C-alpha cells in the first residue's frame, strides 16, 4: 500500500510538472511580437544565452548582490559587477566620469550592449569632451535595485576611492513595486526572501548544546521540509486553498511613505555631492502603468493584464500620484536636476514596452535619454567649462610667478 501510494504521488507530481511546463511554453492569447520587440530580432537567441550566463550573482554586503564577471558579445560584466558600456578607452585619463544608477531598465534588460541607456549617454557625451579627450560612463545599474540600494552602492564606491563628476539616478518602477510588496517604502524588493534565507541559515547552524548526530538529524529534517515544499503537488494544493486574496496597503499611505523615503535619500546624495564634488541628476522613469502613449495591440494586452491583477492595480495607483509630489519636493532639494519622465511617449505610436514591468525596446532608448539629456548635458558642459577656467587661472598664475 505504501509503495502504490508513493507511485501514485510520483505520477501525479510528474503530471503536474509536465502540465505546468507545457502551459509556460504555450502562448497566452494572440501573438505578442511587435516591431522593436527584442524577442523577435535575429540576435535574440544569442542574447538570451548570454543573459542566462549573466544571471549568476555574487553576494555583496549592504546591497545584497551584483552580477558575476562575464565576457560576451552583447553582455559583459566587469570585476566590479558593472555591465560594460561600449565607449572610447583612450586617452587613459578621462576629462570627466559619469555613473548611472538604476534597476534592470538601466542595466539594459533586454537590450544589446550598444543600445542601453548608458551606451546612448556615452555616445552623446563624447563630443562635449573635445578633441583628443573622452568622458567615461559607468553603468552601475543592477536588476531589482531600488533608490536606497543605489545610494548605498554610491557610498561604497566613494569609500573605495571612486570619484565621479556626475551621477544619474533612474528610478521609479522598482521603488513602487517594493513599497506595494512590503506595505512600506524604503526596503529592497523581495525582502521576505532575505528574511527566509536568514532564518534558514540560523536553522542549519549548529546549536551549542547539540551533538553531531542531533545536528545532522535536524539538518536533514529542515532539508526534507524544503524539498516537500518544492513539490509541484504541494504547490498545486496550496494554490487551490490560498484563501482570500491579499489586501494591500492603501495607495495614499504608500505614496506618502515613498515620497518621504525618496526625499531623504536625495538629501543624503546632495550631502555626499557637496563633500565629494559631484553633481547628481534624478530621473523618475516612464512606465506602462501610467503611459499616455498610443498602445499597440501587445502593449494593450499588457495593460489589460495589469488591470486584472490586484498587486499591479495598486502599483498603478501609486505610479499615478507619486511624480507630481516628487516634482514639488525635489524643486527645493535639487533645483533643476529632477526630471519627471513618466509622461514620456505621450501620443507616441512606436513600440516602447516589452513587458508590464516596464522594460523597453531598443528604439525607445533615445527618447528616454532625451528626457534628461538637457539637464545632463548642461551640467556636464558647466563642469567642463569650470575646470577649463580653473586650469587657465592656474596657468596664468604660474606664468606670472615665473
Question: What is the signed CA dihedral for 312, 292, 125, 112, rounded to 10 degrees?
Answer: 50
Give phi and psi for 241, each to the nearest 5. -125, 40
CB atoms inside a 10 Å sphere around CB 147: 27
CA separation for the pair 326, 329 (Å, rounded): 5
- pLDDT higher than threshold 70 for residue 26: no
Confidence bin at 393 (pLDDT 50/70/90): low
pLDDT of residue 271: 98
pLDDT of residue 383: 93
pLDDT of residue 30: 42
Q: What is the pLDDT of residues 176-204, one digit of tens each?
A: 999 999 999 999 999 988 888 888 888 77
Taking a C-beta distance cutoff of 8 angstroms, is the pair 174, 144 a contact?
A: yes
Average pLDDT, the chain: 89
Q: What is the pLDDT of residues 353-362, one digit of tens each?
A: 999 889 999 9
Encode burial over 354-373: b for 16+ CB neighbours within 10 A, e otherwise: bbbbbbbbbebbebbbebbb
The sheet carrying 166-171 orders its strands as 135-139, 96-102, 166-171, 279-284, 338-340
Q: What is the pLDDT of residues 72-115, one digit of tens each?
A: 999 999 999 999 999 999 999 999 999 999 999 999 999 999 99
Of 53, 76, 281, the closest CA to residue 171 belongs to 281
* Size of the chain in residues: 402
Confidence bin at 214 (pLDDT 50/70/90): confident
CA separation for the pair 14, 94 (Å, rounded): 58
CB atoms inside a 10 Å sphere around CB 176: 25
Confidence bin at 33 (pLDDT 50/70/90): very low
Taking a C-beta distance cutoff of 8 angstroms, is the pair 57, 66 a contact?
A: yes
CA separation for the pair 402, 397 (Å, rounded): 9
- Identify the DSSP state of 25: H
Amino acid at each position: 500500500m505504501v509503495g502504490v501510494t508513493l507511485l501514485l504521488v510520483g505520477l501525479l507530481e510528474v503530471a503536474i510538472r509536465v502540465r505546468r511546463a507545457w502551459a509556460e511554453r504555450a502562448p497566452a492569447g494572440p501573438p505578442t511580437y511587435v516591431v522593436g520587440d527584442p524577442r523577435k530580432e535575429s540576435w535574440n537567441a544569442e542574447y538570451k544565452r548570454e543573459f542566462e550566463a549573466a544571471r549568476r550573482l555574487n553576494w555583496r554586503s549592504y546591497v545584497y548582490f551584483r552580477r558575476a564577471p562575464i565576457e560576451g558579445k552583447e553582455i559583459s560584466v566587469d570585476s566590479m559587477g558593472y555591465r560594460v558600456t561600449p565607449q572610447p578607452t583612450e586617452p587613459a585619463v578621462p576629462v570627466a566620469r559619469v555613473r548611472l544608477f538604476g534597476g534592470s531598465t538601466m542595466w539594459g534588460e533586454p537590450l544589446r550592449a550598444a543600445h542601453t541607456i548608458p551606451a546612448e549617454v556615452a555616445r552623446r557625451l563624447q563630443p562635449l569632451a573635445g578633441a583628443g579627450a573622452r568622458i567615461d560612463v559607468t553603468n552601475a545599474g543592477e536588476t531589482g535595485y531600488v533608490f536606497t540600494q543605489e545610494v548605498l552602492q554610491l557610498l561604497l564606491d566613494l569609500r573605495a576611492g571612486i570619484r565621479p563628476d556626475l551621477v544619474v539616478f533612474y528610478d521609479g518602477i522598482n521603488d513602487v513595486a517594493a513599497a506595494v510588496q512590503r506595505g512600506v517604502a524604503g526596503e529592497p524588493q523581495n525582502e521576505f526572501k532575505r528574511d527566509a534565507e536568514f532564518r534558514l541559515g540560523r536553522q542549519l547552524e549548529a546549536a551549542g548544546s547539540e551533538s553531531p548526530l542531533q545536528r545532522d538529524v535536524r539538518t536533514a529534517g529542515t532539508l526534507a521540509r524544503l524539498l516537500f515544499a518544492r513539490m509541484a503537488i504541494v504547490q498545486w494544493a496550496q494554490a487551490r486553498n490560498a484563501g482570500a486574496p491579499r489586501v494591500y496597503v492603501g495607495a495614499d499611505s504608500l505614496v506618502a511613505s515613498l515620497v518621504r523615503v525618496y526625499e531623504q535619500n536625495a538629501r543624503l546624495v546632495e550631502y555626499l555631492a557637496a563633500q565629494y564634488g559631484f553633481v547628481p541628476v534624478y530621473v523618475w522613469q516612464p512606465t506602462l502603468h501610467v503611459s499616455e502613449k498610443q498602445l499597440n495591440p501587445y502593449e494593450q494586452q499588457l495593460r489589460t493584464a495589469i488591470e486584472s491583477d490586484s498587486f499591479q492595480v495598486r502599483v498603478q495607483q501609486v505610479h499615478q500620484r507619486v511624480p507630481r509630489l516628487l516634482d514639488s519636493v525635489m524643486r527645493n532639494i535639487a533645483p533643476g536636476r529632477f526630471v519627471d519622465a513618466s509622461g514620456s511617449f505621450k501620443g507616441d505610436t512606436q513600440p516602447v514596452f516589452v513587458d508590464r514591468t516596464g522594460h523597453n525596446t531598443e528604439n525607445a532608448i533615445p527618447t528616454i535619454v532625451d528626457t534628461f539629456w538637457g539637464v545632463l548635458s548642461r551640467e556636464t558642459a558647466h563642469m567642463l567649462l569650470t575646470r577649463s577656467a580653473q586650469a587657465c587661472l592656474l596657468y596664468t598664475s604660474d606664468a606670472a610667478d615665473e
